[in-house]
């Protein structure tokens, strides 16, 4: 991917399970010229046409889009040789299983390169270009919100593989004598089933945003987060782990306290086994971090995917 | 790495925690011209000089080595910009912490390129070139023996990162009401602490090789293995997982039955969440596999590392 394409004006679609965010621009902050969002209703053809129409309007207003980037909820098909490349595949989200999302955009914008990847790989690419993963070839981007997923890079390439990572469905050791049955319909107590927004709400009986700072669900949730991050370090050896999504804001506990507790538990669980300056008491605050692009990580990721599609 | 270097005559060192295996040749089978092994005694300078002397003798006998590859137990420093590149770093193995192993080989063979990586990345590279990972850009190689470690590739590059993967120290969900405290001095019940040879022996009171096929330790060990492999699929999305090492031979249970049980438990735990032909009842036998190079995976990996060092 050429850094020379970095400032080129493109279209971006952050296709989330709750809302679609569309934008035009060339990067974060002032470079993000305009944005719009609408709900991910159960009829994909309507949602995709809404996105295409908005981008068409912006093209009429600002001039041609050099490329379009789509960072999508999943699972998605990323295999360019597959007949279903560019599809959302087996999602449980009503109306969206086996939906071609790249195809309609190609039809709407013939001849314009389209970049396509998972929402978390997109956000990871955005953080690599403009945010908390600059200069790193090996890092992980996690989002912990309605769902829990992870993407990122190994040796400077976005993680793909058999399908693409589904980090949220990793199994974790039990914390203490925790008997919570979890919230994942497939795996119960996987990472997503223990730490996503709906999981925290199911455990505590109230949304994460409303949980008092001293509610015991915070201690247990941050410790499961730490177990998961230790596992990520063991499997992928990332140079940094960036955590986005609403739950990482820690509700009334606050983002700083949430991260502090995750980092403390991480070091306790790792038990100094892997030796690196990044994992010391001093280093850990730069190892487990929030996204620098904040809530714009996703849509900036889609801009980065568009620019990457220019080769 | 150039495939054109594939048949070039090189030296290889598989530096294991129990024994050093040295070889000269250009590949597996008949291409592996000669090999020798000696114990990893607590004085590295003696062991490294033994290896160098053996390679010097073979060079005198067969002609010049174009390169030398070292696939080492770890943790190791793989950062070429680091002052301790080529060192074994924080190993608990007596006598071997903070030991430069590339340096003495450079001194013994001036001007000869030296490839260096972890034992499991080396074995993975060997399986990629000649074995069970041919044609794959994303795969994992696991060894489960005295220790338990993993390496492999993402997008065609060996996994490095902050340090390198230490997959054996991932935490796992508890199987049933298992109360075994584990065997890892750092983490107790991590993957290595549950499934390595010493862990199986501690649990069952006898070595894995002697365990009767119907001993309950097999069912529990294969299920922990399956939990770990599901986690690997979630984090890295490998296109195949290759499992080497002595425990995977399943002792009196046998390798075929060991793999069959791991695959069955894997599918049960994954619960059809990730949809891929590779993860179906038919596909799984080609997804979780033993190394094609068998017990030569390690030393062939060192040959591959040497040839890769030729660029």
Comparing CA positions, the residue from B153, B128, B141 lying closest to residue B27 is B128
Task: Average the pLDDT over A55-62 and give the result.
Answer: 97
**Which residues in B lie closer than 8 A to residue A169 (C-beta atoms)?**
230, 234, 273-274
**Which residues in A lie closer than 8 A to residue B242 (C-beta atoms)?**
none
- How high is the mean pLDDT of chain B? 95
**Which residues in A lie closer than 8 A to residue B160 (C-beta atoms)?**
138, 155, 237
For chain A, the farthest-separated pair of C-alpha atoms sits apart, in whole angstroms, at 60
Distances (CA, A) of A120 to A116, A301, B201: 11, 8, 41
Distances (CA, A) of B80 to A276, B22, B77, B87: 15, 24, 8, 11
Using DSSP bridges, classify how beta strands B68-72 and B114-118 pair: parallel, antiparallel or unpaired.
Answer: parallel
B26-60 pLDDT, tens digit per residue, is 999 999 999 999 999 999 999 999 999 999 999 99
Contacts across the A-B interface (CB distance below 8 Å): 159
Order of strands, sheet of A114-118, starting from the edge strand that comes earlier in the sequence: A32-39, A19-25, A10-15, A68-72, A114-118
DSSP character string of A183-203: SBTTTBSBHHHHHSHHHHHHH
Task: Average the pLDDT over A114-142 and give the result.
Answer: 97
Tell me, yes or no, if B162 comes closer than 8 A to chain A by beta carbon.
Answer: yes
Comparing CA positions, the residue from A156, A135, A150 lying closest to residue B160 is A156
Task: Average the pLDDT over B238-263 and give the result.
Answer: 97
Work out the pLDDT band at B3, boundaries 50, 70, 90: very low
**Cα–Cα distance between A15 and A298 in angstroms, integer?**
9
Tell me, yes or no, if A203 comes closer than 8 A to chain B by beta carbon.
Answer: no
Tell me, yes or no, if B157 comes closer than 8 A to chain A by beta carbon.
Answer: yes
3-class secondary-structure state, position B158: strand
Q: How far apart are the first and last CA of chain A?
A: 5
The alpha carbon of residue A156 is apart from the nearest alpha carbon of chain B, in Å, by: 9
B195-205 pLDDT, tens digit per residue, is 999 999 999 99
Q: Do A165 and B278 touch (CB under 8 A)?
A: no
**Which residues in B lie closer than 8 A to residue A177 (C-beta atoms)?**
none
Question: Which phi and psi (to 5°) does residue B143 adopt?
Answer: -120, 135
Check: CB of residue B230 under 8 Å from CB of residue B237: no
Cα radius of gyration rounded to whole Å, chain B: 19
Task: Average the pLDDT over A27-49 and give the result.
Answer: 96
CA B52 to chain centre: 23
Please, where are the H alpha helices in chain B? 44-62, 102-108, 119-130, 191-195, 197-204, 216-236, 255-270, 297-308
Work out the pLDDT band at B4, boundaries 50, 70, 90: low
Long-range contacts of residues A178-184, Cβ cutoff 8 Å, at least 24 apart: A178/A220, A180/A220
What part of A 209-228 touches B (C-beta under 8 Å)?
A: 227
Question: Which phi and psi (to 5°) does residue B188 adopt?
Answer: 65, -95
**Which residues in B lie closer than 8 A to residue A138 (C-beta atoms)?**
160-162
**Which residues in B lie closer than 8 A to residue A273 (C-beta atoms)?**
166, 169, 186-187
**Cα–Cα distance between B180 and B174 in angstroms, integer?**
10
Distances (CA, A) of A304 to A3, A19, A141, B96, B98: 10, 19, 15, 45, 41
Comparing CA positions, the residue from B15, B161, B136, B142 lying closest to residue B74 is B15
Tell me, yes or no, if B187 comes closer than 8 A to chain A by beta carbon.
Answer: yes
pLDDT value of position B74:
85
The alpha carbon of residue B228 is apart from the nearest alpha carbon of chain A, in Å, by: 8
pLDDT value of position A5:
59
Question: Is the pTM higher than 0.90?
Answer: yes
Tell me, yes or no, if A269 comes closer than 8 A to chain B by beta carbon.
Answer: yes
Task: Average the pLDDT over A72-97 and give the result.
Answer: 92
**Cα–Cα distance between B167 and B191 in angstroms, integer?**
8
The alpha carbon of residue A15 is apart from the nearest alpha carbon of chain B, in Å, by: 20
Tell me, yes or no, if B98 comes closer than 8 A to chain A by beta carbon.
Answer: no
Check: CB of residue B217 under 8 Å from CB of residue B206: no
A193-247 pLDDT, tens digit per residue, is 999 999 999 999 999 999 999 999 999 999 999 999 999 999 999 999 999 999 9
Tell me, yes or no, if B121 comes closer than 8 A to chain A by beta carbon.
Answer: no
Q: Do A237 and B160 touch (CB under 8 A)?
A: yes
Instruction: Please check the confidence at residue B295 and state whether its pLDDT lies above 90.
Output: no
**Cα–Cα distance between B24 and B303 in angstroms, integer?**
8
pLDDT value of position A2:
42
Beta-bridge partners for A100: A87
Residue of B nearest to A171 (CA): B173
Task: Average the pLDDT over A77-97 and give the result.
Answer: 92
B135-177 pLDDT, tens digit per residue, is 999 999 999 998 999 999 999 999 999 999 999 999 999 999 9
Task: Average the pLDDT over B275-291 and give the result.
Answer: 97
Angle at alpha carbon of residue A168, lines to B174 and B162, rounded to 5°:
90
pLDDT value of position A268:
98
pLDDT value of position B57:
98
């Amino acid at each position: 991917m050429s850094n020379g394409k970095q400032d080129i004006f493109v279209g971006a679609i952050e296709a989330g399970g709750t809302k679609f965010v569309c934008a035009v621009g060339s990067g974060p902050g002032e470079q993000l010229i305009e944005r719009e969002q609408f709900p991910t209703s159960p009829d994909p053809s309507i949602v995709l046409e809404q996105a295409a129409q908005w981008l068409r309007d912006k093209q009429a207003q600002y001039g041609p889009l050099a490329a379009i980037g789509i960072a999508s909820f999943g699972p998605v098909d990323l295999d360019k040789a597959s007949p279903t490349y560019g599809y959302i595949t087996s999602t449980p989200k009503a109306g969206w299983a086996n939906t071609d999302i790249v195809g309609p955009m190609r039809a709407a914008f013939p001849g314009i390169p389209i970049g396509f990847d998972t929402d978390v790989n997109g956000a990871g690419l955005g953080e690599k270009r403009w945010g908390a993963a600059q200069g790193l070839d090996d890092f992980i981007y996690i989002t912990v919100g309605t769902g829990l997923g992870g993407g990122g890079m190994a040796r400077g390439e976005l993680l793909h593989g058999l399908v693409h990572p589904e980090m949220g469905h990793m199994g974790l050791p039990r914390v203490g004598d925790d008997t919570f049955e979890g919230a994942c319909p497939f795996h119960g107590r996987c990472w997503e089933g223990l730490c996503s927004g709906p999981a925290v709400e199911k455990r505590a009986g109230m949304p994460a945003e409303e949980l008092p700072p001293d509610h015991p669900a915070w201690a247990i949730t941050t410790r499961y987060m730490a177990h998961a991050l230790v596992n990520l370090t063991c499997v992928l050896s990332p140079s940094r782990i960036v955590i986005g999504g609403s739950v990482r804001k820690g509700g009334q506990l606050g983002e700083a306290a949430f991260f502090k507790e995750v980092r403390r538990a991480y070091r306790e669980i790792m038990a100094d086994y892997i030796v690196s300056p990044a994992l010391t008491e001093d280093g850990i605050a730069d190892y487990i971090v929030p996204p620098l692009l904040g809530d714009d990580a996703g849509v900036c990721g889609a801009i980065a995917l568009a620019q990457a599609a220019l080769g």
